[in-house]
Amino acid sequence: MSEQPRRRPNILFLIADDHRGFHDPQVATPHLDALAGRGTRFLGARCQGGMNGAICAPSRAQIMTGNELFGATRNNVVGDWPGTSEIAEDAPILPEALAAAGYRTHLVGKWHNGAASAARGFATGEAVFLGGMSDHWAVPARTLDAGRAEPFSEPEIREQHSTDLFAEAGERFLRGYDAEDPFFLYMAFTAPHDPRTAPPEWAARYNPDDIELPPSFMAEHPFDNGGMHERDEHITPFPHGAGTVRRHLADYYAMIGHLDDGIGRVLRALEESGHAEDTVVVYTADHGLALGAHGLLGKQNSYEHSLRVPLVMAGPGVPAGREVDALSLHADLFPTLAELAGGLPVPGTVTGRSLAPLLDGRSEEARGYVHSAYIDVQRSVRDERWKLIRYRRTEARGGAGTDLVQLFDLAADPWETRDLSADPAHAAERDRLAAELARWQHAIGDPHAEDFAEAAFTGTD
């Protein structure tokens, strides 16, 4: 009797909004900690920034398309918000590839890459939010049925916190799923994005007076980084004092604690549904956040607090209790999940690299460098130890930005507080990274590669 082919694993993909990738002891996340304990944490996961201020959109597009920054959205024209956020009509996306392999695809939560791409990627959806941010207590939620002439229903506002709204929708799907086909459940929470309004019982757990400030705390950023016009930096007036930052951090931690509780409910529903042993679970975020570090509040910058994201995987084919230091990008998740799903064919458009060989020990080879961009004023590159950030002044937006460079030794200075770019002892590292950044910009088609090549190359000292 021939052996029956093994059923492909289900995939539960959980993504948060603004959850930076530092394991902060000031906030309790028991459910995410438990998930990491039975899976693998990727400590080198990074986002790549974006060509508009809503970094969440290009980050999510990179996950869906498996492409790095400049190939993930319709275009890279600064100022064209839809073009730099939406996925191109002809770009293959992850849920399409899974559906072609027999997966039932279901969407819950935020979709920030154009309604058309959601409708071609997912068969169904509940509590879908087509947008970037909203009042957490008044989310305009829609249903999705790709078989309808109009796939999305009219929005309905429910008097319920976004985390509870999305968690309950995920629970319903998991508890009610009894089909033979594997499922891909994509759940995109809007927490802990501002407005950071956790339920009162969660907000009460974090007293601003007890919150420690980040090691790189400043009241103001020391120079114009080109992103000071963004909404995020004006949530509170300048300068951002210690008391203000502690209040924001307390609210942020309360949102994360409540988010962890919602994720715990989803994972409990997965367990009680009987699907847990056959499900790969992924948890990540679109980007990090400053919240007082370097005198900034938002994510429109190139420091580690804003680029580093959490990435945890657990389930079939994923070792338990392991940590991987290798650098990785959002674009790597498409080929990784395709491999974990039984070796699905990956479209030729995908530029990400599968992380599966790092999971099972087939390879120790990782990315030597990761790069990032923020509109037309910032670019960065880092390896395992060193980090270079290039800034340039633009004539746009009233002459925003500054022509300079920063160099950080991340091994000795993980919070990037000591710029070494003007130190002759580190000139070789600065020049090596500058050359690598220029190489990447030209290789990937950065529309502002020549602008950065012409910018002054000076340090901050």
Q: How far apart are CA 397 and CA 402, in angstroms?
A: 13
The per-residue pLDDT for 365 is 76
Q: How far apart are CA 24 and CA 416, in angstroms?
A: 17
Q: What is the pTM of this model?
A: 0.96
Edge-to-edge strands, sheet with 10-16 = 156-157, 140-145, 124-130, 104-111, 183-188, 10-16, 279-285, 311-314, 39-46, 322-329
Topology match between the domains 10-360 and 376-454: no
The per-residue pLDDT for 2 is 39
Q: How far apart are CA 251 and CA 279, in angstroms?
A: 33
Q: What is the pLDDT along the chain (461 residues), one digit of tens a residue?
A: 334 456 899 999 999 999 998 778 999 999 999 999 999 999 999 999 999 999 999 999 999 999 999 999 999 999 898 999 999 999 999 999 999 999 999 999 999 999 999 999 999 999 999 999 999 999 999 999 999 999 999 999 988 999 999 999 999 999 999 999 999 999 999 999 999 999 999 999 999 999 999 999 999 999 999 999 999 999 998 899 999 999 999 999 999 999 999 999 999 999 999 999 999 999 999 999 999 999 999 999 999 999 999 999 999 999 999 999 999 999 999 999 999 999 999 999 999 999 999 998 776 678 999 999 999 999 999 999 999 999 999 988 889 999 999 999 999 999 999 999 999 999 999 999 999 999 999 999 999 999 999 876 665 54
Q: How far apart are CA 266 and CA 127, in angstroms?
A: 15
CATH architecture of residue range(s) 376-454: 2-Layer Sandwich (3.30)
Residue type, position 216, single letter: S
SS (H, E, C) 78-99: CCCCCCCCCCCCCCCCHHHHHH
Whether residue 387 contacts residue 381, with contact meaning beta carbons closer than 8 Å, is answered with: yes
Q: Residue 208: how many CB atoms within 10 A of its CB?
A: 15
The residue behind tokens 């994923």 is: 318
The residue behind tokens 């114009």 is: 224
> What are the structure tokens assigned to 24, written together?
């902060």
- Report the b/e string of 227-248 with b at 16+ CB within 10 A: bbebebbeeeeeebeeebbbbb
Whether residue 184 contacts residue 104, with contact meaning beta carbons closer than 8 Å, is answered with: yes
Is 10-360 CATH 1.20.120.1730? no
Provide the sign of the torsion angle of the four alpha carbons 336, 324, 361, 13, taken in this order: negative
Q: Which of 280, 327, 314, 288 is nearest to 94 (CA)?
A: 280
The per-residue pLDDT for 5 is 52
Q: How far apart are CA 375 and CA 379, in angstroms?
A: 9
The residue behind tokens 């220029």 is: 438
Whether residue 263 contacts residue 32, with contact meaning beta carbons closer than 8 Å, is answered with: yes
- The full set of domain ranges for the chain reads 10-360, 376-454
Q: How far apart are CA 189 and CA 109, in angstroms?
A: 6
Q: Residue 414: how many CB atoms within 10 A of its CB?
A: 16
